[in-house]
Amino acid sequence: MTDEGNTQLYKREAATTLRALRQQVRWKPGKDITHLEKRKALGHLSLETTGADYNSLIRTLIEEKHHHVYLYSFDSERYYAVRGNIRGKEWLVIATKTGVLETAFPPSAVEDYLTKRGFVRLGTIQEVLT
C-alpha cells in the first residue's frame, strides 16, 4: 500500500481532498448538525458553538501548512485526514477523497487512534500540496 507509485497516487488524492475542503466545507446532508451536537455533548466544543464556528475550526485546521495529512483505508474506500493542534487540543479532520467531511474531533489519545486504525502519514499539508 505504501510503495512509491501508490504513495504518489494517495498524495494526489489527498491534495484534491484538501483543495475541495478549502474551497467549501461540505458535509453529508444533516451530518454537520449531528457532529456539532456530538462535539458539544462530549465537551469538545462549548455549548455556544455554532455550525459556522465548527466549520471555521475545520478550515483553520486544513489551512495550516505544517499540519499532518494521513491516508485511512476502510474496506475498499480511501479517506484522508488532517491532524493538527488548535485551541490547545489535537484535532483530526477526516474526509472522503472527494472532499466531503466524515468527522472532525479531538481524539483523547491521537497516536493510539491513528495506529490502531492503520492511518498512514503522507506528509505535511505543504508537502502534499506541492
pLDDT tops 90 at residue 1: no
Residue 80 to residue 94: CA distance in whole angstroms:
6
Residue 100 to residue 87: CA distance in whole angstroms:
24
What's this model's pTM, rounded to 2 decimal places? 0.93
Each residue of 56-73: pLDDT tens digit? Answer: 999 999 999 999 999 999
Each residue of 116-126: pLDDT tens digit? Answer: 999 999 999 99
pLDDT tops 70 at residue 3: no
Question: What is the number of residues in the chain?
Answer: 130
Mean pLDDT of 14-21: 96
92 forms bridges with which residues in the sheet?
Answer: 83, 105
Q: Dihedral of CA 4/110/81/56: which sign?
A: negative
pLDDT tops 90 at residue 87: no
- C-alpha cell, 2: 505504501
pLDDT tops 70 at residue 34: yes
